[in-house]
Amino acid sequence: MTLPQIAAVVVAAGRGIRVGGDTPKQYRRVGGQAVLTRTLAALAAHPGVARIQVVIAADAASFYDECLGDLASEARQKLARPVEGGATRQASVRAGLTALARDGDPDLVLVHDAARPFVDDALIDRAIAAAQSHGAAVPGVPVSDTIKVVEPDGRVRETPERESLRAVQTPQAFRFSLLHEAHGRAAAEGLDGFTDDGALAEWAGLPVAVFPGDLRNRKITQAADLVEADRAFSPELLSESGSAPAAQDDAMTLLTRLGTGFDVHAFTEGDHVWLGGVRIPADRGVLAHSDGDVVLHALTDAILGALADGDIGVHFPPSDPRWRGASSDQFLADAVRRVTERGGVIDHLDITVLAEAPRIGAHREAIRSRIAEIAGVPLSAVSIKATTTEKLGFVGRAEGLAAQAAATIRLPEEARA
């Protein structure tokens, strides 16, 4: 199967005057690097993104060159020569699409704001998948505030139901040919006021899907956003993965929730066990319907508990033959998806394995890395420990092994189940 050619247009031609100062916000430094540098590094780090077309203002060449000086050489290799933007965002995106077409149309294109440096691989993955499935898709997060539609005289016309509302972010994702054609049609008709490519696609008659966005994917708009981004990207707070932790924002009204989980499996014949998504050699296996990964099962229940959304048996019943021998990473990934769809974030995952054998010390970091990968969190957000039960109980008698887990997540207040 041929992989799609994916390009990105990064819109960096704006002035960003609301943050104050003479330097546009995309060139202001956070954690020692320009916002645009952070954004380009995040996009370039994704293996699926092959080309990045940046659109800049006519007088911003020196600012842009300074950004490149802080960008890794591997990331610079994905950058096309920047092009000059237009008087509106729509004109700038069209300029970026036209430049991409000169070097051969990609299959998919992501359109991203330069001032969103917190974009990560998980969000880009969802954008690509949505574009492949729907042709036109935008990321959205639940709206936490009550929204009013107001008449010109200030009176309220209506109050939409929040359940049907989403705040739209970038990267927005499209089949390149569809978006390029839509921009051409709009320009031909003299329309140049679309501030969102999803809205332009809707005008062109394209069905536009909304996929789960990420509350961490904030757009830097105000001076306070720069201060918070600078804190988030400060060297002492950067995670082991090199990405920034979620920026804190009281306006989001995110409430912390704690969930716990527990799982146990009896030993049976075999030569390995699965723990935390890692295959560990052992003198016995475990008796289970799926792969019997007590760590991932306990973690899944912990996250579902924090969501008040049942347990693993509700969503993946052992009576269903689809889950016979199934890899448990899909159970944890599904629980994480449920958090994301409610506009939440995972803060920390903590696991304790109870077993006389096998010993997990030599596998600890591999397990942490695999859990972080599945859950889409920094390595520093995953802790795993192991203990025996001092020869007491079924664990002490080496009849089986168990795991207990705790998960802390944050949800918008309105998303609490």
DSSP secondary structure letters along 278-314: EEEE-S-EE--SS---HHHHHHHHHHHHHHT---HHH
Residue of 159, 166, 85, 171 whose CA lies nearest to 128: 171
| Domain co-membership, 243 together with 277 | no
Q: Is the pLDDT of residue 416 over 70?
A: no
| Domain co-membership, 202 together with 91 | yes
Tell me: is residue 397 an annotated ligand-binding position.
Answer: yes
| Per-residue pLDDT at 344 | 80
Tell me: is residue 388 an annotated ligand-binding position.
Answer: yes
Residue with tokens 């757009």: 219
| Domain co-membership, 263 together with 242 | no
**Is 357 contained in some domain?**
yes
| Domain co-membership, 261 together with 274 | yes
Tell me: is residue 88 an annotated ligand-binding position.
Answer: no
Q: Is the pLDDT of residue 256 over 90?
A: no
Q: Beta strand pairing status for 285-286 and 254-268?
A: antiparallel
Tell me: is residue 134 an annotated ligand-binding position.
Answer: no
**Is 287 contained in some domain?**
yes
Its domain, for residue 312, covers 254-415
Can you tell me whether residue 354 is helix, strand or coil?
strand
Tell me: is residue 290 an annotated ligand-binding position.
Answer: yes
| Domain co-membership, 277 together with 142 | no
| Domain co-membership, 198 together with 149 | yes
Last residue of a domain, one of 190, 225, 250: 250
Confidence of residue 142 (pLDDT cuts 50, 70, 90): confident
| Domain co-membership, 363 together with 411 | yes
| Domain co-membership, 26 together with 170 | yes
| Domain co-membership, 313 together with 395 | yes
| Domain co-membership, 152 together with 25 | yes
**Is 1 contained in some domain?**
no
Instruction: Dump pLDDT digits (tens) for 16-50.
Output: 655 555 688 899 988 889 999 999 999 999 999 99
Helix, strand, coil % over all residues of the chain, rounded to 5 = 35, 25, 40
CATH number at residue 121: 3.90.550.10
**Is 283 contained in some domain?**
yes
Last residue of a domain, one of 201, 221, 250: 250
Tell me: is residue 180 an annotated ligand-binding position.
Answer: no
Q: Which residues contact 161 (CB under 8 A, 6 or more apart)?
A: none
Tell me: is residue 344 an annotated ligand-binding position.
Answer: no
Tell me: is residue 264 an annotated ligand-binding position.
Answer: yes
Residue-averaged pLDDT of the chain = 87
Tell me: is residue 297 an annotated ligand-binding position.
Answer: yes
Tell me: is residue 37 an annotated ligand-binding position.
Answer: no
Instruction: Dump pLDDT digits (tens) for 345-355.
Output: 888 999 999 98
| Domain co-membership, 244 together with 263 | no
| Per-residue pLDDT at 16 | 60
| Domain co-membership, 322 together with 239 | no
Tell me: is residue 121 an annotated ligand-binding position.
Answer: no
Stretch 162-179: mean pLDDT, rounded? 93
Residue with tokens 């077309």: 53
Tell me: is residue 56 an annotated ligand-binding position.
Answer: no
pTM (whole model) above 0.75: no
**Terminal CA-to-CA distance of the chain, rounded, Å?**
41
Instruction: Dump pLDDT digits (tens) for 355-404.
Output: 888 888 888 888 998 898 888 887 888 999 989 888 888 877 888 899 99
**Is 223 contained in some domain?**
yes
| Per-residue pLDDT at 226 | 81
Last residue of a domain, one of 198, 217, 250: 250
Can you tell me whether residue 234 is helix, strand or coil?
coil
The domain tally of the chain equals: 2
Tell me: is residue 261 an annotated ligand-binding position.
Answer: no
